[in-house]
Amino acid sequence: MEKKHIAILVQNLHNGGAERMAANLSIELAKYYEVYLIVFDAGDAIYPYGGKLIDLKVPPLAEASAATRIRNIITRIRRLSYIKKKYKIDCTISHMEGANLVNIFAHRGDKILTMYHSMPSRCMEPTFVHSLMHAYTGKHSAKYLCVSRLAEQDMAENFGVKPKYLSYVYNFSDLEKIGRLQKETLNEKAALFFAAHPRVMITVGRLTHMKAQDRLIRMLKELREKDPGVGLVILGEGEERPLLEELAEELGVKDHVLMPGEVENPFPYMKKAKVFALPSDYEGLPMVLIEAAACTLPVVSCDIQSGPREVLAPDTDITKATENIEYAQYGILVPALAEEPRRGKLSEKEQMMAQAIKELLTDEALRRRYCENSAACAERFSSEQIIGEWRKLIEE
């Protein structure tokens, strides 16, 4: 029986979580289908992928006039429509707003699956225009997919998308691959840093204001006052790097913060660390929590919208937001910090997060408990589990 032809559409292969997820999806679906990974701009691609890569060669034109940007979008639609026809695409899966609309307008009789990768109301105001865009996307998709249950609920309640058009599918991790990669050797600089800091907390993500890595640098300052063995590793790259480096120097902890940038393999760093910390203001479904679990790395996460509660406390009310330290099934949840000041002395809620990190760094029984639970946590987001859901969506 001839395999179905599946297209996956995304902006690029270097920019963030949605792009990385699209690349991972192409690898897994290529085991079952003829897969075509279509990008608007393949330049600077860093994520490995499966199937055939097709570069539409229509990069974004942020500095261009409105008329030029419209022509840019029309070119994307025309080129995608041609590709769908040429390769007889049966189903096209697109990721994020721009790609979703291009996917819909380039419809050639293929099944349309669209996906939104964040918490809608945290990324945009529920204005008439935004609600119209999401409603249109939902109505013209076989399914409009969100990345978590809470994000799906938010899309329906705040943007008026009818529930019948909506569903959710979690991101996934290749647990076997992570198991192999975490065994690789760290470079000399990183190895020396871990040797000098026996208790390291780590975070992974783009260096942006929303990811709030500066909070961890301020927490590091206080943690080191009582424990000079504590260090901080921040993996990722972005526009906040100069500010983070300046803050570390200002607080006198520059030598105790390692920022190697966007490393090809983060897992040996995660395996060597003692605690993973997620201080973000908001997320969609933070894959780093699942990857930390795959590395048997205990987690402290802000109880933000959305994702952390669904990963770490799946049997609780997903709309709940803790006001205290919550020792959940698969990790520790602490209050969200988005409204807290970002300078000076740690706020009461920041102190809670610092306290939870300290407990995991020093309480071996607590660490062991979360390490032992990590395999079950990661397995819920394995590629085998989640790809089964994707295949149902494609085949229905």
pLDDT at res. 1: 67
Tell me: pLDDT of 50 over 70.
yes
Domains of the chain plus CATH, in order, are 5-172+382-395 (3.40.50.2000), 175-379 (3.40.50.2000)
Find the helix or strand (DSSP H, E) in which 136 lies: helix 128-139
What one-character-per-residue DSSP string does 253-281 give? -GGGEEEEES-S--HHHHHH-SEEEE--S
306: preceding bond cis by omega (within 30 degrees): yes
CB 36 within 8 A of CB 120: no
Find the helix or strand (DSSP H, E) in which 384 lies: helix 383-395
**Mean pLDDT along residues 331-342:** 94
Residue 123 phi/psi, 5-degree rounding, is -100, -25
- Cα 132 from Cα 111, distance rounded (Å): 22
- Cα 231 from Cα 200, distance rounded (Å): 5
- Cα 378 from Cα 182, distance rounded (Å): 15
Q: Is the dihedral of CA 205, 207, 210, 214 positive or negative?
A: positive
DSSP bridge partners of 113: 93, 143
**Mean pLDDT along residues 373-387:** 94
pLDDT at res. 66: 85
How would you class 108 by CB atoms within 10 Å of its CB: exposed for 0-12, middle for 13-18, buried for 19 or more?
A: middle
Nearest C-alpha neighbor of 280 from the set 17, 64, 97, 51: 17
- Cα 274 from Cα 297, distance rounded (Å): 6
**pLDDT per residue as tens digits for the range 269-294:** 999 999 999 999 988 888 899 999 99
Length of the chain in terms of residues written: 396
**Mean pLDDT along residues 357-368:** 97
Q: What is the pTM of this model?
A: 0.84
CA distances, 369 to each of 197, 315, 330, 364, 384 (Å): 23, 18, 9, 9, 26
pLDDT at res. 40: 96
pLDDT at res. 162: 97
Q: Which two tokens stand for residue 139?
A: 């109505």
State whether residue 168 is helix, strand or coil.
strand
**Which DSSP letter does residue 61 get?**
-
pLDDT at res. 64: 78
CB 203 within 8 A of CB 278: yes
Average confidence score pLDDT of the chain = 95
**pLDDT per residue as tens digits for the range 128-183:** 999 999 999 999 999 999 999 999 999 999 999 999 999 999 999 899 999 999 99
